[in-house]
Every structure is written in structure tokens, then in C-alpha cells.
Amino acid sequence: MAKKKATKKKVTKKKAEKSEKSKSEVLTKKTAKSIGKKTVSKTKKLQDAPIEQYFILCNGQPIKNVKELADIIEDLRDEVFNHHVNMDKNDFAKWISDVFNEIDLAEQLADVKDKKNMQLILYKHIVHKLT
């Protein structure tokens, strides 16, 4: 009688293990399907300038792409920003036009003379480019 009980426990334990295994296989398949869908989608990346065409700020800091410019622009000291953007010129717009051939973005930036508006235009461009 004790032997039957032990066998019954083993059978029940095996069924439970099998049931758990099937659940994990189902989860794995679902996960694989969802991962597969994400893998198929293209990943878009903003282009870096060639190293010899990095924008070098007057303080020596290099900028390699539009996102880096957008990220650092609000923290630039006013004298650094005004050295590159003033009534006579907009070095950032020229760099974006010449290096990345982003004529529309460069034209939008050409008349902007403040950091906040410039950053806003840059981030809008980045979002549009990545979607």
C-alpha cells in the first residue's frame, strides 16, 4: 500500500513538471514571436559626421551629430553660443547643411538666434527622422 502511494506521488509530480514545462514552452514561443516582430523592424540611427568634419566649438568641444548638438545646446555658455550664432552667421545651420546635407533643417535654423528655439527645432527634426 505504501508503494502505491509513493508511485502515485511520483506520477503526480511528473504531471506537474510536464505541465510547468508546457507553460514555459508556450511562454517561450510567445516571447520569441514578439521578439521576432521587433527584430524585423528597422532600427534607424542618426548619422555621425566623419571625424574630420566634427563641429568643433570655440571652447574646443567636438560635436559629431545633430542629436549631440541638441543635447548640449542648452548647457552651452552664452558666449560660446553667440560666437557661433549671431546676426552675421549661424555656424550650426551651415554645418548641418554642408556635412549632413539637411537643407530644410539648416533653413529652419538659419534665422534662429536663441538656444531654446534652436534646441526645439533640432529635437523635432530628430523625432521626425527616427519615426
Residues in the chain: 131
**C-alpha dihedral, 98 to 100 to 106 to 107, nearest 10°:** 80
pLDDT digits (tens, 9 = 90+) for 21-77: 444 344 334 444 444 544 444 456 789 999 999 999 999 999 999 999 999 999 999
Query: Per the confidence metrics, is the pTM higher than 0.85?
Result: no
**73-87 in b/e burial notation, b at 16+ Cβ within 10 A?**
beebeeebbeebbee
